[in-house]
Amino acid sequence: ERRFDIPHLTDVFEHLVPIPSTFCLRSRTPASEDFADGYPSDEKWHGYINNNDKVLLKTIHYSSPTSAGAECIDPSCTWVEQWVHRAGPREKIYFKPEEVKAAIVTCGGLCPGLNDVIRQIVITLEIYGVKDIIGIPFGYRGFYDEGRHEMPLSRKVIQNIHLAGGSLLGVSRGGPDVSDIVNNMEERGINMLFVLGGNGTHAGANAIHNECRKRRMRVAVVGVPKTIDNDILLMDKTFGFDTAVEEAQRAINSAYIEAHSAFRGIGIVKLMGRSSGFIAMHASLASGQVDVCLIPEVPFYLHGPHGVLNHLKCLLESKGSAVVCLAEGAGQNLLEKTNATDPSGNIILGDIGVHIQLETKKYFKEIGFPADVKYIDPTYMIRACRANAADGILCAVLGQNAVHGAFAGYSGITVGTCNTHYVYLPIPEVISYPKQVDLNSRMWHRCLTSTGQPDFV
């Protein structure tokens, strides 16, 4: 067959290396030079991406060589450019499609768009000619637990799954250790693994990638970041975020109507955001109905002359009602610490929404200024939503690029958008800590301008 007349590469797994993180053009060589040969791709993807195509992540101009420090190899250098690999189909591919057994797994919590990504991965694999595609049920646990059988996937199975939220494959937290997962992958003959999940899932995917490399297995492990909170470093936006903001607005609007229609009404809405307030900030900005936006990045007090409650009283006096929008990770210092963790080891947060609701009711009762407090927690309704149009497109492109990346021989990577371009990023770079709202950014200041809230300290 025309496709395979290039001699089989004996140690092709040497090409399955994580791409260097961000690299300075002048000081580092892109790993793409390793990708000299491969099988020609049978598919005509309306043009190919060259392995040397790069996307500018950022340019930093330092005021002096001293402040540039270790970032620059050249001691007189005062600026650094960081680039990442452009995502997309390559002309040379590293797997014969008929030898591929691809597996997809979804872990962590739900997020709008999971089914869209699963669907697009399956479709793209089939276009490459892959026949053996399976879904691992209920997260990493599906690799291990008895009685959980793999789910054969094909275009017929996935055709309409994007019309509903959730995950066709199911999700879970916790589960087997990495060597058990890799043993299981060896038993099943899986040589492409697509992992959809958040920071924990990606830490797992990176560990699986490292274990496969250690065992010299010819396996590509590719992640698609799923975080409704949009808290992944370096990326413009993760799938599900846009839908979450849109749905959150409905909850805020309900809270506004309840508050506005009551005598001295206060509406409180709790949104997602364990360590980052992006959803709360964007939903507050989008709705224009929020008077107080509380996010994990900004400490605040409830009581005292500069506290949230006193401000709510002023709002009731001046405009008759008030709406509070808060992220679940906000004000954790106001709650009792429990140290309880979920099966994945994540700290279980105290419920700040319920706490503020109770404190607000108590406060207005105590000062003899009756207020009508309504509390809305739309978290699970938002997570279970179907992806909106913008997220549907994002999921489609990410799903396609995940498959292109695996076929190109990349492993230990994840897909995303940087500066509006689609790119491949090494997993450790994006999960080292959660991305947070920059309190000096124009966006946060715009949010404060929109709500008109003071500092609560």
Residues that bind ligand ATP (CB under 6 A): 107-109, 139-140, 173-175, 178, 197-201, 203-204, 207, 227, 344, 346
Sign of CA dihedral 115, 119, 122, 124: negative
Kindly state the smallest distance separating residue 84's Cβ from ligand ATP, in Å. 22
Q: Nearest 5°: CA angle at 231, between 162 and 279?
A: 70
Q: State which residue, 106 or 199, has the beta carbon closest to Mg ion.
A: 199
Strands 192-197 and 101-106: parallel
The residues in 178-217 that bind Mg ion, with binding defined as CB under 5 A, are 198-200
| 238 annotated as belonging to a binding site for a ligand | no
What does the DSSP assignment read for 211-243?
Answer: HHHHTT---EEEEEE--TT---TT-S--TTHHH
The residues in 255-274 that bind Mg ion, with binding defined as CB under 5 A, are none
Name 132's bridge partners.
101
| 174 annotated as belonging to a binding site for a ligand | yes
Q: Cα dihedral angle (138, 140, 145, 150), rounded to 10 degrees?
A: 60
277 binds, among ligand ATP, Mg ion, none (CB under 5 to 8 A by kind): none
Q: What's the Cα-to-Cα distance from 252 to each of 86, 208, 340, 358, rounded to whole Å? A: 38, 41, 30, 19
Q: Which of 34, 42, 145, 229 is catalytic?
A: 229
Q: What is the DSSP letter of 355?
A: H
| 363 annotated as belonging to a binding site for a ligand | no
d(CA 185, CA 179): 10
Q: State which residue, 198 or 353, has the beta carbon closest to Mg ion.
A: 198
Q: State which residue, 265 or 273, has the beta carbon closest to ligand ATP.
A: 273
Q: State which residue, 338 or 341, has the beta carbon closest to ligand ATP.
A: 341
Kindly state the smallest distance separating residue 195's Cβ from Mg ion, in Å. 13
| 272 annotated as belonging to a binding site for a ligand | yes
| 253 annotated as belonging to a binding site for a ligand | no
Q: State which residue, 140 or 456, has the beta carbon closest to ligand ATP.
A: 140
The reply to whether 172 sits near Mg ion by the rule CB under 5 A is: no
The residues in 51-70 that bind Mg ion, with binding defined as CB under 5 A, are none
455 is catalytic: no
Kindly state the smallest distance separating residue 344's Cβ from Mg ion, in Å. 7
Q: What is the CA radius of gyration of the chain?
A: 24
d(CA 169, CA 211): 24
Kindly state the smallest distance separating residue 158's Cβ from ligand ATP, in Å. 22
| 356 annotated as belonging to a binding site for a ligand | no
What does the DSSP assignment read for 327-352?
Answer: ETTTTGGGS-----B-TTSPBPPP-H
Q: Which residues bind Mg ion (CB under 5 A)?
A: 198-200
Active site residues: 229
